[in-house]
Amino acid sequence: MNIAILFAVCGAALWGGGQVIAKRGLEDTSVALFGFVRSVSALLFVVPFGLLTGGFAFPGTDLLIVAILGGIFDSFVGTLLYMMALRTSPAYEVVPLANTAPFWGVVAAVVFLGEPPRLASFLAAGLVIIGAYFLSSRRVRTDEPVSRFGPWLALAAGAMWGIAEIAPSKYCLTHGMATSTYQLMVVVGSAAGWGTYLLMRHRLHAVSWSRMGLGIAVLTAFTNLFLGWLLWLMALDRAPASLLSPVRGLVVLFGFLASIILLKERPSLRSAIGVLLILAGVTLVSVAR
């Protein structure tokens, strides 16, 4: 059980740190190109690992479509909203708001999977909303341009991630799809979405990029799309999801710390309070049963 928690904590650390590092890669590289390179690079890790550990089983067309759609909404639409938020707002605001995903996952469970609502869900919603208010109130000095829409894009990304991670993954896994196959379909759907967006956004025009930007895209493909997911799935194989759900909320904390350590950002006391409130809401909604 302890090794499962360790796996989950390491996965959360990789997700949180990788989300912050992506901000540096987006400084001089097109969002569309960054996302496409990131998704395609993930295939270079996911496919060989899957083949070496038993291969991929394809249980049926319906499940494959659901899994691919899950990848499109989670790793393309949600990530696009997140990257747009990163380009216009400080990472210490964007990361906590985007990682309200566990809360929105509970909403998806109630609305789409028919699970009964609980008082804890409403209390957690209040904590998340208040935390979002503290993070969205700009009383912090920063040397980079900011936008009033950045925090709301981040919150939308969190909602997209939470819903897409719960509904399609739960459906596919309970109907016999292997975790390796689901992860592969997520990456395929993500790559398809980013490739389409790249063609529509830039067409034949020049695309801004740098070696550092593309290097970070490959790095986050490994840390987030491959290794982070792998560790999380390994944890789920060894412990109940109800035990590991609060650990998923640690992505917020790791991302907040990484934005200070790696990006040298200067959060205010208000933003720290917002992080604590969101962490409290995410933890409450994760552990309440």
Q: What is the pLDDT of residue 196?
A: 95
Output 135 or 87, whichever has higher pLDDT. 87
Measured distance CA(157)–CA(151) in Å, rounded: 10
Any residues with CB less than 8 A from the CB of 89 and at least 6 apart, and which? Answer: 146, 147, 150, 151, 154
Share of the chain above pLDDT 70, in %: 89
DSSP H helical ranges for 112-149? 119-136
Q: Are 251 and 10 in contact (CB under 8 A)?
A: no
Q: pTM, whole model, 2 decimals?
A: 0.81
Measured distance CA(100)–CA(285) in Å, rounded: 10
Q: What is the pLDDT of residue 139?
A: 46
Q: What is the pLDDT of residue 141?
A: 46
Burial of 235: CB neighbours in 10 Å, binned 0-12, 13-18, 19+: buried
Q: How many CB atoms neighbour CB 26 within 10 A?
A: 18
Q: Are 161 and 248 in contact (CB under 8 A)?
A: no
Among 101, 103, 100, residue whose Cα is nearest residue 132:
100
Q: What is the mean pLDDT of residues 281-286?
A: 74
Any residues with CB less than 8 A from the CB of 84 and at least 6 apart, and which? Answer: 31, 150, 153
Measured distance CA(10)–CA(247) in Å, rounded: 10
Q: What is the mean pLDDT of residues 44-58?
A: 91
Which 3 state secondary structure label does DSSP give 205? coil
Output 89 or 78, whichever has higher pLDDT. 78
Q: What is the mean pLDDT of residues 157-175?
A: 83
The total number of residues written for the chain in this structure? 289
Q: How confident is the model at residue 126 (pLDDT cuts 50, 70, 90)?
A: confident
Per-residue pLDDT reduced to its tens digit, 226-260: 999 888 877 767 776 656 666 777 777 787 788 88
Which 3 state secondary structure label does DSSP give 277? helix
Q: What is the mean pLDDT of residues 30-40?
A: 94
